[in-house]
Amino acid sequence: MTTIAITSEGPTLEDALDPRFGRAAGFIIADPDTMEYRYVDNGTAQAMAQAAGIQAAETVAGTGAKTVLTGYVGPKAFNALSAVGIQVAQNLENITVREAIERYRQGNLELADTPNWVGRGR
């Protein structure tokens, strides 16, 4: 069984995919074969002044997910995800979590080898 994490603005499959990774509202942790899922809140990372991406990567790693579907991943978060072998599909926006999972199931997503967002945070 594979588990994937989708950045989500809410706790259901019909919620919008949250294009932000580090500051996403939360993650839908789903099994794309059975469509079983659960929601993990990302409040801890959202509240951090900095390093939200690293915290979010830690949260995702803790769920056992091996792939993340999201919009924008900064370099530090990308580095953290890579370090623990989690793959990233990025550039997703204006779709629901369910649509993102469908695209994953169809193999219609490219896995990234570099982050697509250079953060300016400090």
Partner 1 sequence: MKIAIASGKGGTGKTTVSASLVHVWPRPVVAVDLDVEEPNLHLFLKPDINRTVPAYLEIPAANEDKCTRCRACADLCQFKAITVIADTLLLSPEMCHGCGGCLAVCPEGALTPSRRQLGDVSMGTVGERDFIMGRLRVGEAMSPPLMRVVKSYLDGLCDGRDVDIIIDAPPGVSCPAVSAVMDSDLIVLVTEPTPFGNYDLQLAYRAFSELGIPMTVVINRDGIGDDSVDVFCRRKNLPVLARIPYLEEIARGYANGRIVADTSAHLSQMFADMGGRLSELRAARGEVSNA
Question: Using CB under 8 A as the criterion, which residues of the chain lie in contact with partner 1 when the complex forms?
Answer: 48, 50-51, 54-55, 57-58, 61-62, 76, 79-80, 83-84, 121-122
**Closer residue to partner 1, CB minimum distance, 24 or 100:** 24
The nearest distance, CB 111 to partner 1, in angstroms, is 19
**Closer residue to partner 1, CB minimum distance, 93 or 121:** 121
50, 51, 109 from 44: Cα distances, Å: 11, 11, 28
Q: What is the DSSP string of 63-114?
A: HT-SEEE-SB--HHHHHHHHHTT-EEE----SSBHHHHHHHHHTT--PPPSS
Q: Tell me which residue has tokens 């995800």.
A: 81
**Closer residue to partner 1, CB minimum distance, 40 or 51:** 51
The nearest distance, CB 85 to partner 1, in angstroms, is 8
